[in-house]
Structure 1
Amino acid sequence: MTSPEHLSLPVGAAVPSLVRWGLSCDADLVFRTLTTMGGRDARTLAAELGLPARRVGDALAELRGAGVAAPGPGRARAPVWTAAPVRDAVAAVRRRRLRLVDEEAQARSHRTVVTELSRGAATVPAAGAVGGELGDGVRYLPDRPLTRARLADLMDAERSEHLAINTEQAFDAASARPAAPLSRRMVDRGVRMRVLGLPPADRDLHVDAALFGHARFGYREAAEMPLKLFVVDRRVALFPADPADFDRGYLEISQPGMVRALVMLFEQHWATATDPRESGLPEVVLTDRERELVTLLAQGHTDASAAARMRVSTRLITKIMRELMDRFGVENRFQLGLALGAARVTTPQERP
């Protein structure tokens, strides 16, 4: 067993999951092993993790391609692999997954959609234009604060369905702060909400995580979006007056034909978009008994002492651990510990 002085990471330190930035679960598991236990050759990794040699080899190749692990010099047949420092590894995989949209192309897409749908009825108002009615079913909201207030009023009165398309890859605090509670209140009272978005530049979800627990909330991503859009109860739509400058306000559309066309556009993109969580770690929800057991084991208890503290039999402890391993798809307790750590279910106590 590796002695504490040879560990490459202090006991109790957290290792971020690399899965969220596109690496496989096997690669994440091997990286965590190298980071916490020190350098290993492929055969040793396979034996310690209980994985087939082929899967370990594929994981090492993936880590090398991502620039977060490398074989050491010498021992050509069985090189010792070492992991990059955690901070450097995270920076490397984030850069690898960084994908910024072409803002000019996004603006062109917006203008094309608006022109085709409105036939010129919803044109960009001139700089300094005063808000108000621009035509049949078209109203101009000249700045962002006024737009936020109007959207909040519409959402508070919403009864059926809210559709949204986001074209930002990051949100400023002024936009994000009021949006989350509005959305939560809306789904809590039974309004269905669906949101389309571009993949965030750093691959982090930029949606309130609490919303994913609601059956009436849906979120999907795609590499391209036609325009930024809000549709309230399929009767009112809002989109930026100028896609290159959101501070110039929004156009509010209540003309039924245009609203129907915008809803159809949303549905077309929704059908081909994907749930970003499908390639990430599943949400981990432990029962109170499972959480108590995991906490005790992380503190250093054996099965017997944990059973005594929980006032249950050691046979039940074994059963709980087996069920946890089956749920995470792992084959031994070492893998389970790494998986639980990746999901931040528990953290071992700091020790000298």
Structure 2
Amino acid sequence: MFEVIGLNATSEVIYRTICERPAWGVAQLANHLGLPEARVRADLDHLAELHLVTCKSEAGPIKVVDPGIALRSLLLQRETDLINRQRELDAARAAINTLASELSHKEAGESERLDSLVAVRARLRELAASVRESCWSLLPGGPQSSDALESSRPLDKGALDRGISLRTIYQSSCRNDTATRAYVEWLASRGGENRTLPTLPLPLVIVDEKVALVPIDVKESRRGAMSLSSPGAVAVARVLFELLWDTATPWGEHRLDADGLTTQERELLRLLSNGMTDEAAGRALGISLRSVRRLAAALMVKLNARSRFEAGVRATQNKWL
């Protein structure tokens, strides 16, 4: 429950036990919870770093800081961090969209126009063969086909075998796809790093922080891509990726924010509040219309609302929007 403010499951159990048994020391906590004393001490150090408890000496009593103050302070700090991160992310999205719309004005030698998906795939194969350090990718649009995943396997294997850093951000909807799950688990077993976000602004590939592939038309990626090598253009693409990476959820984790919402629920709430239809929201999230309506119904339950209008009012009152 308290993962969002920095507590893992064990730390939370220890903290709750200390609140209930303030006179207990490390040995009593360890015996009661069936944990090694070293683990209890490590978690107490972490609780102290979060200013939830204080302990003047190892043998002295453990003092709990007023939970009403300490926990709310941590929650406020987390909310502030999320607001600042969202502002940075919005600014980066605006910058990359501006960059994509101005590609035609790039100087010769700093960009290469790839006018078809065939040309894009050929360029990706060239980059995969020449990559020396890293390859970072954004993959919007939901799950890829099994054939597409299998065609990527030898390229990814070769890169990982050479010690290349592979980082990929998928849409959250990919977690429900059997083929993608199996492929990501295979990547992870070889050292690949994978995270998810509910929506992604555009397809993007960055190789060695020197070349960036972005779509010619953000709304229609089938038109092809631009291969950019100017330091400024690649820097903007890199900043966007790093902001998204820091915000994304590691594959296999299911984070809840301060309001108990998943990132996918939060994004759906934002899309619907902006007037987007269920169908359009589904396309943005890479999920089916049925899944959109299921998530919307779950949000109404969390908001204790009997209609979407009432849900919108309650979400505003709760400062979820």
The TM-score range, normalised by the shorter chain, is: 0.3 to 0.5
Q: Which structure exhibits the higher relative contact order, with contacts defined as CA atoms closer than 8 Å and separated by 6 or more residues?
A: 1
**Which entry has the higher C-alpha Rg, 1 or 2?**
1
**Normalization by structure 1: what TM-score?**
0.42
**Normalization by structure 2: what TM-score?**
0.45
